[in-house]
Structure 1
């Protein structure tokens, strides 16, 4: 028999897009799917839409007590506690799965029992569904090194990846104190406990729209990044150069945030820390050889 796959979607005020996300799961070429959606206190009609889907048997809907808004990590953890599949897929409520994503990734993991996680490409799309660019780029090669993943944060967990439930059991739950970067924290922890591979090809569509992360959200992301790095250093034997360069990158990102906030002295301090931590990369950015995305 085909193994069961649990698809978990955290949802908060996504009534405009979530129907497409649901349809992309229901239309998969793979049949053994358990679809779990956790509403995180939506107030825009998302909860009512999901309740109708639940009553039709299209998904299993869960909420926090009193329908509280506890954040994405808490929603994902609630979904994981109810998941019974051999494999886990996390789909954000405004993204869309490729029709063959689950069947292809299950086939790979079933034939490679030593691999804990497989991921593919996302196609970035606009709010109206227009294709923009692939993530990662078409020439991407996965080195399978946790050092590289911690340093450059080149993949995120939602949409593109499929992870063995047994690997989640080893890595633990999402960190609920993080209101940003919890996906990067989790994928780093997964890479520390299990081998992971990349299969070229689009497996989901990542929506970029006007509700994307704000400057305040970016500040939360990079503050969380420093804590993620500190925890990773205690947990795993990363190279000292990886820790130093990642810290430099985080200082650079905080410098950008402070610059846009017009906190110029703070921005300058972070840029200096970035330059001292990774002078080669800093010079490449200054000279235009590397883009400061």
Structure 2
């Protein structure tokens, strides 16, 4: 295998695609990579011994320049991604889920931004959410990058639309097994604690929304996100971001953690105490217990009383 990683003008980009039983999506995922207006590419699919049509789809791409794949049992997506890191030879990397898709120009724009500013650890853009049939549901409108902004949810480093310095990611050990349901965010934050990032003002990818997504595992996401914040807290504290980090943990628990109105409102007040900037971005009514549930019921009752509704 060649060890050449770059040319003078065009660095090799390695895209890691962890895969398991996503045969109905992965062809489009790979087509979205190979249809990009950028070369050279190394596309590495690490499949966890899928039982559906995935392997047949992968075989159909055999012979495509830059494409390699393996299908064998693994312990999950963290092991799969780290196997991809071990194979990756690129200067710049991306990690694309086997049910998400790049939009045209995503790679070339990201490479240009990283080449233009050698101080950047990563760049990312906006995404569109689509249903299982590819129909658009919504688009993100992310704010400019800052580490505090990431913690306070003013912006989000979204895996389907992120490209990064491969050497830095490898030096940090790739994805961590300790936080499997927050492993991508954990890597972005560890990279962000080393160097700057940049939000690109471009729609760069599509994320599929369907019943088999990891995003449906809310309790596990909240658990691992909190553990990640705890692991990184000494570094956040050293950067003067301990309050934002604690607020981030509470905001994520509200999004994915245990339900309960008093619990939700309590977390929100605590988050605002740790990071007062939270107050400016959340309506005051959200701080009042049962405001939204009561308003919803009152509106429904009023609607029911209207004639001929």
TM-score interval, normalised by the smaller of the two chains: 0.7 to 0.9
1:247 and 2:260 correspond: no
Q: Which of structures 1 and 2 has the bigger CA Rg?
A: 2
Could you say what secondary structure the match of 1:177 adopts? coil
Corresponding position: 1:162 with 2:144: no
Query: Structure 2: how far apart are the matches of 1:121 and 1:28?
Result: 17
The alpha-carbon deviation at position 47 of structure 1 amounts to 2.6
Paired position in structure 1 for 2:114:
109
Tell me which residue corresponds to 1:12.
20
Task: Call closer, same or farther: CA 1:159–1:251 in 2, change over 3 Å.
Answer: closer
CA gap 1:214/1:166 in 2 versus in 1, 3 angstroms: closer
1:207 is aligned to 2:190: no
Mapped contact 2:143–2:154 kept (Cα < 8 A): no
Moved more, 88-97 or 110-119: 110-119
> 1:172 is matched with which residue?
173
Does residue 232 in structure 1 map to residue 232 in structure 2? yes
Gaps of 5+ in 2: 1-6, 274-278, 294-309
Within the candidate set 121, 131, 140, 2:136 is matched to 131
Pairs within 5 Å for 1:1-293:
1=7, 2-54=10-62, 59-63=67-71, 67-135=72-140, 137=141, 140-142=142-144, 144-152=145-153, 154-213=155-214, 217-236=217-236, 237=238, 238-253=240-255, 257-259=257-259, 268-269=262-263, 271-278=265-272, 280=279, 283-286=284-287
User: 1:153 and 1:7, CA in 2 relative to 1: closer, same or farther beyond 3 A?
Assistant: farther
Cα gap change, 1:23 to 1:128, in 2 (>3 Å): same
Secondary structure at the aligned position of 2:50 is classed as: coil
CA distance change for structure 1 residues 71 and 275 in 2, over 3 Å: closer, same or farther?
same
| TM score, norm. by length of structure 2 | 0.79
Supply the distance in 2 between the matched residues of 1:100 and 1:248 (Cα, whole angstroms).
36
Q: Residues 63-86 of structure 1, C-alpha deviation per residue, up to 9 Å, x if partnerless? A: 4xxx22311111111001110011
The answer to whether the Cα contact below 8 Å between 1:71 and 1:176 also exists between their aligned partners in 2 is no
Residues 128 and 139 of structure 2 are in contact (CA less than 8 Å); yes or no, is this contact kept in structure 1? yes
**In 1, distance between residues paired with 2:117 and 2:245?**
31
Aligned-pair CA distance for 1:49: 2.4
CA offset at residue 270 of structure 1?
6.2
Shift of 1:132: 2.1
RMSD: 2.7
**How far does residue 29 in structure 1 lie from its aligned partner after superposition?**
0.8
